Amino acid sequence: MAFKYRAITANCGNDAIGMVAGGEIARLLAEDNADFYVINCQEVHFENTQKQLEALVSEGYKVECLGQMATHTKLDTQFHSNTGIASFIIYKNDLVLSKKTPREARRSPGDGLFERLSSGPGYNKGGLVTDFSITRNGECIHAQAVSGHLDASNILKRNRDWHVLHKETIKEVTNWDDLVAACPNLLLSGYDVNTRHRVDEQGQEVNMWDDPSKYPEIHGIHRVSLAAAQYSGESTYNHIRGPDPKRVGYTGYGMLDFVAIHDGTISKNGIVADERVTQIEPEPDSERDHTVVISPPHTSLKINPFEQVKNLMASRLYGVAPLLAEQIQKMQESDVDVKEQLIKIYQDYLGPEGFLDKAIALHQSKLECFQRLHVSLDEPLKKELSTVLFGELEWCAGDPKQLAAKQELMQALLDSLAQCEHGEGVRARLDCYSKLKEKIDNKEEIKDIDNLFKDAAVKAYQDLYTSFAEKQASRPLKHAMNKILKRLDAIADHNDEGVLKNMDPKKLDTLTHIIAQCNNNLSLLQKGEMVEMHKVNEDLVNLSHKAMGSSSSLWRALASAVKFFASVIDAMSSDSELATKIDIVQDHNLSDSIMKYKSALQDMRPKEDTDDENRMDFGG
């Protein structure tokens, strides 16, 4: 026996859904002769919406709230619990509805008014998950309603909201009955994911959902929902046209609201946002400021538990492990140990702390890492970091053992990247990651990964130190270089790997950046690239100012030496005749006859052993 239904989503602006929207829902219900509609709402007034729907639907139907979760997103909602996230069902009188206790998914749970207020949007975002079943004449289908509301302003928080919501849709599974309960016939979702259109570097307004693979901030939502039938509108929220002054880089409108239906089939239609979707605009006598999105009519057929389980598992894995999803679809109930295989796959891939759960968590950390580092990296390194972090879209593909090793490696990379903020440290870690990933691809076992990343950071510093120490330079410049090397070794002997490995990683990263920039400065001076050299010099001066504020006398001494080095470079770059003479002396391939230029440098020699060892006398 078939059950006819639709799924709906509506952000109601802390009001009822609206008489126009309610009337259209009632009209479609009668036109479809549907068995039930599920309406997932955000910022909805619970009681008023139920009353509106009850007043509008025709006889023969009931309206019931499957579950509600109070949120307080506006000033006038802070001191009552009448509004929030909810799921409603309208169903025929001859159906028997059974529902379980809803599960709240809040980014920042809080008990009591003070805790709630202090947690702010974290308490009000996330969502609600409710399991229910519909029965007619002994024939039953199981469903899960998911209503989600993700953060409006912050990419990282939005992805955390998605993760906590996803966690509530999965379950611990130890046997076949558990697995059947974890895989309903239908997963009916409605979200306000707050994905406003982007404003690109050319000032063009772009809908990220036109090319979701290009935008890591929506990868989590996109990949997990890839097999679902998805419905939205070209713009379901129109607060203001053009850029949003409160959200730099985004517009005040866009494709925010989605219906997603996992029914055990794999949809390849992408997001449907055309005339097949019923869209009800905001109405005059309502605070609702989002479009209500109503899916086309669907039909659910009762199938046996085995087909139900394998179909939903394949659907949920399709976006992250497509080959595994295909293998699951081909399984037959008569296959040997097939139920045990499905239990194992669910536990490993879809359950709590499974590969997908970990991948969503890793993606949050990747976004946070890139957001923190990208401003300090040059374009090639920024692109490489982005490729390493976001290039793989099939998050759970491949051999399970290798997949586990790759997730462990990625976590180790992210942990190590958290200890640096400069390009040299990032480069060392990416090179280390690339080598280790190749080993995993070759099925080699890797031990003590964290220590290998530490070794890479230490080696990067030692190599730069050696390169700087071996550079040929004029006598006054070499004097300034030696001061830096001396101060660096006073902080940590560059030959002592143990000391360097046990050093605060962020301090080692700073030392690595200082020595790298000193190297860069010398190279740029010798090439005559003065504009770039002055930029590096400015960075060195800024680094010296930061180090000068240290409570450590050793770091203050290093700061003084760096500043002195920068002043010597600056002085040399400002005198083209002087720079020419220095270049001649530095070139060891020239004949001995040019050594007569040495006398030209006598007046540039520093005064040794003075009270102020950083003072340079260029007097004649």
Tens-digit pLDDT profile for residues 442-484: 999 999 999 999 999 999 999 999 999 999 888 889 999 999 9
Give the residue among 596, 29, 10 at the shortest CA–CA distance from 297: 29
pLDDT at 399 over 90: yes
Task: Report the pLDDT value the prediction gives residue 619, as an integer from 0 to 100.
Answer: 33
Cβ neighbours for 392, distance < 8 A, ≥ 6 positions apart? none
Mean pLDDT, the chain, rounded, equals 89
DSSP 336: T
What share of the chain has pLDDT > 70, as a percent? 89
Give the residue among 229, 139, 126, 140 at the shortest CA–CA distance from 169: 126
Are the beta carbons of 562 and 544 closer than 8 angstroms? Answer: yes
Task: Report the pLDDT value the prediction gives residue 111, as an integer from 0 to 100.
Answer: 55
Are the beta carbons of 58 and 95 closer than 8 angstroms? Answer: no
* Structural tokens at position 463: 């190599």
* Structural tokens at position 313: 């598992």
Are the beta carbons of 180 and 171 closer than 8 angstroms? Answer: no
DSSP 357: H
Task: Return the bridge partners of 250, or none.
Answer: 198
pLDDT tens by residue, 175-231: 999 999 999 999 999 999 999 999 998 899 999 999 999 999 999 999 999 999 999
pLDDT at 365 over 90: yes
Cβ neighbours for 113, distance < 8 A, ≥ 6 positions apart? none
DSSP 306: H
Cβ neighbours for 411, distance < 8 A, ≥ 6 positions apart? 362, 365
Task: Report the pLDDT value the prediction gives residue 582, as an integer from 0 to 100.
Answer: 40
| Residue type, position 336, single letter | V
Task: Return the bridge partners of 261, or none.
Answer: 188, 229
DSSP 346: I
Task: Report the pLDDT value the prediction gives residue 607, as an integer from 0 to 100.
Answer: 37
Cα 54 to its chain centre, rounded Å, is 41
pLDDT tens by residue, 131-185: 999 999 999 999 999 999 999 999 999 999 999 999 999 999 999 999 999 999 9
- Alpha-carbon span 167 to 104, nearest angstrom: 10
Tokens 């994911």 correspond to 193
- Alpha-carbon span 213 to 391, nearest angstrom: 9
Most distant CA atoms of the chain, gap in Å = 108
Q: Residue 94 burial by CB count (10 A; 0-12/13-18/19+): exposed, middle or buried?
A: exposed
Number of C-beta neighbours around residue 576 at 10 A: 11
Tokens 């307080």 correspond to 72
Task: Report the pLDDT value the prediction gives residue 531, as an integer from 0 to 100.
Answer: 83
- Alpha-carbon span 445 to 30, nearest angstrom: 62
- Could you tell me the pLDDT band of residue 588, with boundaries at 50, 70 and 90? very low
| Residue type, position 143, single letter | A
Task: Report the pLDDT value the prediction gives residue 535, as an integer from 0 to 100.
Answer: 85
- The CB-side HSE value for 619 (13 A sphere, CA atoms) comes to 3
Task: Report the pLDDT value the prediction gives residue 110, as an integer from 0 to 100.
Answer: 60
Task: Report the pLDDT value the prediction gives residue 366, as an integer from 0 to 100.
Answer: 98
Are the beta carbons of 92 and 58 closer than 8 angstroms? Answer: no
Reported CATH class of domain 2-352: alpha beta
More confident residue, 280 or 612: 280
Cβ neighbours for 553, distance < 8 A, ≥ 6 positions apart? none
- Alpha-carbon span 122 to 30, nearest angstrom: 39
Cβ neighbours for 23, distance < 8 A, ≥ 6 positions apart? 56
Task: Report the pLDDT value the prediction gives residue 617, as an integer from 0 to 100.
Answer: 31
pLDDT tens by residue, 117-128: 555 567 789 999
- Alpha-carbon span 433 to 13, nearest angstrom: 47
- Could you tell me the pLDDT band of residue 613, with boundaries at 50, 70 and 90? very low
Tokens 């109601």 correspond to 12
- Alpha-carbon span 91 to 143, nearest angstrom: 14
Are the beta carbons of 345 and 321 closer than 8 angstroms? Answer: no
Domain extent listing, the chain: 2-352, 358-447, 471-604
* Structural tokens at position 164: 């906590």
